A and B are shown apart, each in its own frame.
Chain A
Amino acid sequence: MSYQARKGDSDLSSRPLMNEQSEQAPNFHTDSGLGIDSVYTPEDVNGPDYGDKVGEPGEFPFTRGVYPSMYRGRLWTMRQYAGYATPQESNLRYRYLLDHGQTGLSVAFDLPTQTGYDSDHLLSKGEVGKVGVPIDTLDDMEALFSGIPLDKVSTSMTINATGPILLALYEAVARKQGVASEDIRGTTQNDILKEYFARGTYIFPPRPSMRLVTDVFAYCAERLPNWNTISISGYHMREAGANAVQELAFTFADAIAYVEAAVAVGLKVDDFCPRLSFFFVAQNDLFEEAAKFRAARRMWATIMRDRFGAKDPRSMMLRFHTQTAGAALTAQQPDINIVRTTLQALAAVLGGTQSLHVNSRDEALALPTEASARLSLRTQQILAHESGVADTVDPLAGSYYVESLTDRLEQEAWDYLKRIDDMGGAIAAIEEGFQAQEINDAAYQYQREIEAEERIVVGVNRFQTDEPPLEGIMRIDPDQAKLQVERLTKVKAGRDNGVTEASLKRLGEVARGNENTMPALLECVEAYASLGEICDLLRGVFGEQAEMGDL
């Protein structure tokens, strides 16, 4: 029997046990709504350009992976996102994770640090140390990395509006440790555009914010050659409700805007694009997610080569971090989250991620306890060392289904991207509220599908169990915030205020002009200017962004 006959066969006598009526639903579709056939065959993938589209690992268009040997050469970096209470407490958690075999750090900052307020600000009340570590001055940053040699670990920092300041603080700590700037390795998320429609920690309006982003690109190209200057993120869009196609399209629309902004200020693509990195979610649909990562690599390679004329293959290589989906965690029956995150992490590894965070069982309720965080790390270690999935490159290649899904996700994302291009690009679309509206619509639709039981969420709308509330969740002691404020007061009292004020004055001049802001920021943080002082000054120069979009 030919493949075609098997696929679309209307003669049911040839397969008496499998007539169409026996299927559980009239239609099957992926998490993002792409229709799924009952079976996939070479007809679905074997177009004339198959070889060119998939290619070899480590070669354009990098569908199969950015490196020839992938995990056989080096495993992904196991990087659990952590930070809470105070720099001292967070430092203990980092050392604990490193002691248990974690291979890189990932810093979570509290909301005042992310939105540019000191711990003693009125708006910081109740928020200090809650969702991450508070950083007010260089003194805090030194405590955060105390005993952790910055030439030995790589550090990812989830920080955006204040990203350039935290990068300056990190470099300042390295200098204090005697580590040369060119030897520090890590990533600042520094992806401001998605903050306006998916994450909410913006400070300044989009256009001056773009200048700060490109300042980091230029500064690092010259001084921090091993720093990933940005992590262009689809993760938060998806958490806010977007589907996989929107995640790809909106992320690349943002990426294009960053490259265009940098080119507009005179940077050359092959000088800064090799240090651009990405960040995606691993959601529940195993094959769709693995296909998404493959499609993402092919799209980025194509964008860089064909749209921006990159010549250096490293400019075309999409390197990315993955985190399992916070929005997929359930507060009900927390232990089943371990199963969910394991499958999601598997998708990330099958998709060729460069680094990974696995969420913890208790994270629908609180920050993870030490034991939960260790279990997440162990999940990664089992995938890496026991499951065998890391032993060959891109093991799903050639699957009729996965190749077909890869093609379809790519095509749908190109179509979406064209709509944003036609609107004038990501920033224009943000200013019109386009992405926010699309995401809000998708999120509302998703919730209605759960309530109509068109989507099954185990433990939520099916298979519920009566259970007592989870005991032993992580609590942040409110006294820790008081300690943090006391420390800030002490630092301000102990510094040479003349030097601090001079550094801030210089930053103001630079911000009003066209010079790169990074050297002036480094001078400010080394003079123990606080993050809030620096941001207040920049608010005065750049203005503040009001919320955009509607429900």
Chain B
Amino acid sequence: MTTNVDVIRVLVAKPGLDGHDRGAKIIARALRDAGMEVVYTGIRQTPQMIVEAALQEDVDVVGLSILSGAHMELFPQIAEGLREAGLGDVVLVAGGIIPQQDRDALHKLGVDRIFGPGATLKEIVEFVESVVAERRRAAP
């Protein structure tokens, strides 16, 4: 590996047809400003495209942003795809318009953390830093 192994690598992705990318771009920039290496996929990504990008970019974290309401269909496919690609230890984080009522089901399907409207950049950065540190300690 030529990359600095200590640097946290994050894929920020926009699944589905939703064009609302303000939040995704702000998060991507905040993570980058916090010293992480961030790849932003752009809009209109299928679950397969996101899994492939996660694999290619060798990321620690995949952050999904969706505001269209398609999360219950798309997120499980992404979580499943990551597991099938051998990326089961990648941290899966989500944000956007995700009703409280859907969150338990998404956690069970493999989404590690969901940030709703009003979440601060500070809290998101700190979560990513701590959860990645934890996973790295746990890794063999």
Contact = CB atoms under 8 A, between A and B. Distances in A.
Interface stretch (A14-22, A121-129, A523-531): A121-129
Interface stretch (B3-11, B118-126, B130-138): B118-126
B63 interface: no
Interface in B11-48: 16-22, 25-26, 28-30, 32, 38, 40, 42-44, 46
Interface stretch (A214-222, A439-447, A510-518): A439-447
Nearest to B21: A200
Interface residues of B, number: 36
A124 B68 CA distance: 12
A127 B70 contact: yes
Contact of A331 (B19, B72, B116, B120): B116
Interface in A119-178: 122-127, 130-131
A460 interface: yes
Contacts of B29: 440, 444, 551
A500 interface: no
Contact of B68 (A130, A330, A443): A130
Contacts of A327: 22
B100 interface: yes
Contacts of A366: 69, 97, 99
Nearest to B46: A123
A473 interface: yes
A547 B70 contact: no
Nearest to B100: A469
Interface residues of A, dominant DSSP: loop
B74 interface: yes
B2 interface: no
B25 A443 contact: yes
B48 to A, nearest CB: 10
Interface residues of A, number: 42
B2 to A, nearest CB: 23
B118 A330 contact: yes
A112 B17 contact: yes
A444 B26 contact: yes
A144 to B, nearest CB: 20
B73 A125 contact: yes
Contacts of A249: none
A364 B16 contact: no
Interface in A397-451: 440, 443-444, 447-448, 451
Contacts of A473: 99
A311 interface: no
B47 to A, nearest CB: 9
Contact of A111 (B17, B26, B120): B17
Interface string A462-473: 000000010001
B86 interface: no
A239 interface: yes
Interface of B: 16-22, 25-26, 28-30, 32, 38, 40, 42-44, 46, 68-74, 97, 99-101, 116-118, 120-122
10 contacts: A112-B17, A131-B18, A199-B19, A200-B20, A201-B19, A327-B22, A364-B97, A365-B99, A476-B69, A478-B73
Given A365-B99, A440-B25, 18 more contacts: A111-B68, A112-B17, A126-B70, A131-B18, A131-B68, A200-B21, A201-B19, A240-B21, A240-B22, A331-B118, A366-B99, A444-B29, A451-B122, A460-B118, A469-B99, A469-B100, A473-B99, A547-B42
